[in-house]
Amino acid sequence: MVGVQSIPSPAITADERSHEVDHPSSQVAQFGTEQPLRLDCGVDLSPFQIAYQTYGVLNADRSNAVLLCHALTGDQHVANVHPVTGKPGWWDTLVGPGRPIDPQHYFIICSNVIGGCMGSTGPASINPATGKVWGLDFPVITIPDMVRAQAMLIDRLGIDTLFAVVGGSMGGMQVLQWTAAYPSRVFSALAIACSTRHSAQNIAFHELGRQAVMADPDWHSGGYAEHGLHPHRGLAVARMAAHITYLSDAALHRKFGRRMQDRELPTFSFDADFQVESYLRYQGSSFVERFDANSYLYLTRAMDYFDIAGDHGGVLAKAFAAIQTRFCVVSFTSDWLFPTSESRALVHALNASSARVSFAEIETDRGHDAFLLDVPEFLDISRAFLQSAGKARGLTLRDG
Amino acid sequence: MSVQEALPLGGLATGQSGQFRADHLLVAEMVKPGSKVLDVGCGEGDLLQLLETRGIDGRGIELSREGVNRCVAKGLAVVQGDADTDLINYPDDAFDYVILSQTLQATRQPKVVLENLLRIGRRAIVSFPNFGFWKMRLQLLIGGHMPRTENLPASWYDTANIHFCTIKDFVELCDAIDVKMERAEALDLYGRPLRLRMPWWVWNLFGEQGVFLLTRGGRK
């Protein structure tokens, strides 16, 4: 028989993962029935909660708050050890002591998005009306819904104007949505490796991932929680496919080439002979330990629906009319998920709105994921942009 | 002695001006404080930095990725773009001044670029190396080869400058597309303006570069 090695089962149980959904290892803001979240689909979500982390101290003027928006599979644990994986914060290249976004200077906020699974209300949360997990009864959410919820959190924290909103990928979409929806509340915006709309190719990749989840018999039409199951195989395949889009041909070749995994010769089986296969399987299986399958469906859907121009009569520049926010847009040469052309279209619209915008394309072969990695040119630009914005904002940065 | 090494111009604080290029100082002098400026082909942002010290809201476009990234790292509002293809994306009257410093000769369509400058900006400031400068003429006439100078050291086969012109050529282009010259300066070999009012042919012979403050003509 031809050898087959499938994706290993996750090391942690569904219960361990769902613990973070209800009892996150971070701060939580509760919003009762008097403060519903008005969703784009027409539903009022209430009650709901937002799990968030903060780092640093809000200054007396309340003018040094930086909101970080996480990407599709990120969460609020941007600069601390992750409570489930035990790994360092997902953006510790950019955020932390001595980093461009330093808690010594800024009051840093990062919240888990609505629809997420690390403590903000989402499909893995308990529906108070039924006492059961929401599952597919959870309303479909959008990027504007995520941002609306963040604005409620910012209100709760007593902050009127954010010094900066920063994010990459889906986080970058939230940055742009912030500037379009609340231009006067965003002093500066750093939008990285993102777009004002999700392209057909990206929607196609997301559909592939969702179908992989739904094809897993353990998915049970989204009701897996009731069966004590989690469609980890389908979700792992979705993650594997998505992970390829976060890298680049050159990066994969440099990292793995055609090298074999712990063997000299092919086994003439479907075992993971190649290092790249083994790597992808690892990415898939480690992802399902910390992520809820339904949440993945909802968040990919939110990205698919994102189209700022569509919300403004098809004219992107209208979304940013007379905006005073200082923008910095960054793209990466080898990013084929959010290629530079997408950033350029955004920059053209911002120019047409006479917005103050900087735009840099960073040369790297590390693909879309470059924004999370140690890419010095990108980090230098982020630091300089925030420093010059801080000067314009009158922030006195404390000496390190 | 190159323009970069030239003595600072009169009328500017010498302590500050020493670090800036002579043609940049002249351009900066032409811009009214408090105005909004787009610098097309802003290089590493030296002129934008000079303008910011004078309270001017400056933006830049630069073709080279390295140049853009240096500018952004200096905190300047600069975007990566091409004068030939990206000016079209800017709306009419978006800026008080649009500056094209030592870049016109490197564009594919200088005429279209010039028209765009004065569509986007109420005024344009254009500077370029004068190919009618006597040293250039001499190299072609006596040496029989394409001229090369300290400021334009590249050989004909690897230069980015594809549309050289003389001051006289530029004046004729402005006339042809109804562009009015509010102010014209020629800089000599030492980066100093030829202050005396002299006929065009003298400037065209002794000006190492030309700097022009332009506005829309009234013929149309």
Cα separation, B216 vs B118, in Å, equals 6
Cα separation, A310 vs A260, in Å, equals 47
Cα separation, A344 vs A330, in Å, equals 10
- CA B137 to mean position of chain CA atoms: 21
Residues from chain A contacting residue B57 (CB–CB below 8 Å) = 356
Residue to mutate among B62, B70, B76, B89, with most A CBs inside 10 A, is B89
- At residue A11 the predicted structure's pLDDT band, cuts being 50, 70 and 90, is low
Cross-strand pairs, A108:
A55, A66
> Phi first, then psi: what are they for A356, rounded to 5°?
-85, 110
Give the pLDDT mean for A187-196: 98
Cα separation, A78 vs A52, in Å, equals 10
Helices A200-215 and A293-305, axial angle in degrees (round to 10): 160
Q: Which two tokens stand for residue B72?
A: 């952004």
Among candidates A356, A363, A384 on the partner chain, residue whose Cβ is nearest the Cβ of B74: A384
- At residue B66 the predicted structure's pLDDT band, cuts being 50, 70 and 90, is confident
Among B59, B62, B71, B64, CA closest to B121: B59
Give the pLDDT mean for B41-63: 94
- Residue A5 is predicted with a pLDDT of 60
CB contact A28 to B (< 8 Å)? no
* Active site residues per annotation of A: 169, 335, 368
Residue-range domain boundaries for chain A: 14-198+307-393
- Residue A268 is predicted with a pLDDT of 93
Q: Does residue B11 register a pLDDT over 70?
A: no
- For the question of an ipTM over 0.95, the answer is no
In angstroms, the separation between the Cα of residue A390 and the nearest Cα of chain B is 10
Q: Does residue A228 register a pLDDT over 70?
A: yes
- Residue B220 is predicted with a pLDDT of 62
Residue to mutate among B79, B88, B119, B122, with most A CBs inside 10 A, is B79
The 10 Å Cβ neighbour count of residue A15 is 8
CATH 3.20.20.210 fits A14-198+307-393, yes or no: no
A301-323 residue pLDDT tens: 999 999 999 999 999 989 999 89
For residue A363, what is the nearest residue in chain B, using CA coordinates?
Answer: B65
Residue B12 contacts residue B29 (beta carbons within 8 Å): yes
Cα separation, B191 vs B135, in Å, equals 15
Q: Mean pLDDT across chain A, nearest whole number?
A: 94
Q: Does residue B15 register a pLDDT over 50?
A: no
- Residue A17 is predicted with a pLDDT of 65
Q: Which two tokens stand for residue A12?
A: 């942690």
- Residue B7 is classified by DSSP as P
- Residue A398 is predicted with a pLDDT of 63
Q: Does residue B1 register a pLDDT over 50?
A: no
Subunit contact A351:B71, Cβ cutoff 8 A: no
Residue to mutate among B72, B93, B98, B120, with most A CBs inside 10 A, is B72
For residue B74, what is the nearest residue in chain A, using CA coordinates?
Answer: A384
% residues pLDDT > 90 (chain A)? 89
Give the pLDDT mean for B177-188: 91
Task: Give the 3-state secondary structure of residue A53.
Answer: strand
- Residue A15 is predicted with a pLDDT of 64
Subunit contact A391:B65, Cβ cutoff 8 A: no
A5 vs B66 pLDDT, higher one: B66
Give the pLDDT mean for A143-167: 98
- Residue B7 is predicted with a pLDDT of 31
Cα dihedral across residues B124, A188, A117, A75: positive or negative:
positive
Give the pLDDT mean for B86-91: 88
Residues from chain B contacting residue A360 (CB–CB below 8 Å) = 65, 68-69, 72, 80
